[in-house]
Amino acid sequence: MNLVKDNPTAISEIVNLFDFERLAAEKMTKMAYEYVASGAADEFTLRWNRQAFNAIKLNPTILTDVSQIDAGISLLGLDLPYPILIAPTAYHKIMHPEGELATVRGAGAASALYVVSSFSTTPLEEIVKAATQPLWFQLYVRDDRELTKALIQQAEGLGFRALCVTVDTPVAGVRNRQDKARFALPEGVNTPHMPGGLAEKKPFTWKDIEWIRSFAKIPVLLKGILNPADAEKAVEAGASGIIVSNHGGRNLDTVPATIEALPRIVEKVNKKIPILMDGGIRRGTDVLKALALGATAVLVGKPICFGLACGGAEGVTKVLDILRHELEVAMILTGKATIAEIDESVIWK
C-alpha cells in the first residue's frame, strides 16, 4: 500500500521547518497528515505552543567574541554535539515505508539522539542494528505490569541509554480532528511492542514510578510534566530528568504552552536534575529561548515526522541540520559562544 503520495518537489528546495510541513501536507495521506498535525479538542494548546515562542523577544549583545561556536552539551552521561533530540512519536511507517529505520538513519547522519516510541512500527532490535548514535526509549506503562517490566528489560538489554516514561496519558485526549480523518493503522502496519494498544483507562501513580526505579538499570525521565508541584515530586521520586511537555497539544486542551510552564518548573527543580522540553519548536531561536529559560535540551516531534514523510532519512537529517544551524546563528547574533553562556540575559524583558 502506498502511504505517501509522489511529489516532484525536492527536499533540496526546503529552507525551514515550515516548508517541511507544507510539503508533507501534499505528500502524506490525509489520515497520516491529520494524525501528526492535529491536537486535542479545539487545539488552543497546539496553537499556544507556537504563539508563546513567537511572543518572546530576544535581547542581543554585540561585539563579543563568537568566532568559535560550541553548541555541545553533557546530558546523563552522554556528550551531545547540540541540544536537540528527536522526540518519541508513533507509527513512522504511516509517514514513510521504511518507518523508524529511516528515522534512526537520519538521526545518525545528523549526530542526534533519538527517543524511540513504544508505538514503534519497527522492532527495537532492527532499530538498534541501524543506529549509529545513542538511543533512549519512551515507555507507556501498561495495565499488564509484567509486560511493562519485560519491555523495559528488553530495551536495557539492547543498549538503550535512558527510559522516558510518559506520565500525562492515563487516557488519550479528545482528538476530534484525528477522529474525523478516521485514523487507523493500514493493513500490514503494526506496533510489535504495544500489541492491542493502551487500555482505555489504566491505574498509574507515583507508586509505579517507584516500582520502575526499583529494577531499572538506566536513568528514568518523566515525560509530560507541566505542574511545578509534580516536578518537585519527580525529584523526590528519584527521577533522573524531567521532560516538560503537553504531549504536543494532543491530550488536554487549554493547558499552557510548554515554554510558559518551563520557568516555573526550572525554579522548583533548582538544578537538581536536567529539565528538557518539547512542544512547538520550529526555529533555532525557539531552542535558544528554551535554553535561556532553563532547559538543558529540547526535543522535536512533529517536524521530524514531516521530514520523514518528505524524504525519509534524508528528510529527518535535514530537519535537524536546519535547526542546529539556526541555533548556532542565533547564538552568534546574541553574543553567546557556548550553551553554558546562554541565560535569561538573551530574553528582552
* Active-site amino acid positions: 247
85-96: string of b/e by CB count within 10 Å (b at 16+)? Answer: bbbbbbbbbbbb
- Strand duo 275-278 + 241-244: pairing: parallel
What 3-state class would DSSP assign to 224?
Answer: strand
Query: How many CB atoms sit inside 10 A of residue 199's CB?
Result: 14
Q: What residues are paired with 135 via a beta bridge?
A: 114
Q: Is 111 exposed, middle or buried (0-12, 13-18, 19+ CB in 10 A)?
A: middle
- Give me the helices (H) in 28-121, please: 30-37, 44-55, 100-109
The three-class DSSP label of residue 206 is helix
DSSP H/E element including 236 = helix 228-236
Tell me the angle at which helices 302-333 and 17-27 cross, rounded to the nearest 10 degrees.
160
Q: Which of 116, 114, 113 lies closest to 81 in space, CA to CA? A: 113
Burial profile 128-140: b = 16 or more Cβ within 10 angstroms, e = fewer: bebbebbbbbbbb
Cβ atoms within 10 A of the Cβ of 256, count?
16
Which secondary structure element, helix H or strand E, spans residue 79, and what is its range?
A: strand 78-80
Q: Are the C-beta atoms of 49 and 248 separated by less than 8 Å?
A: yes
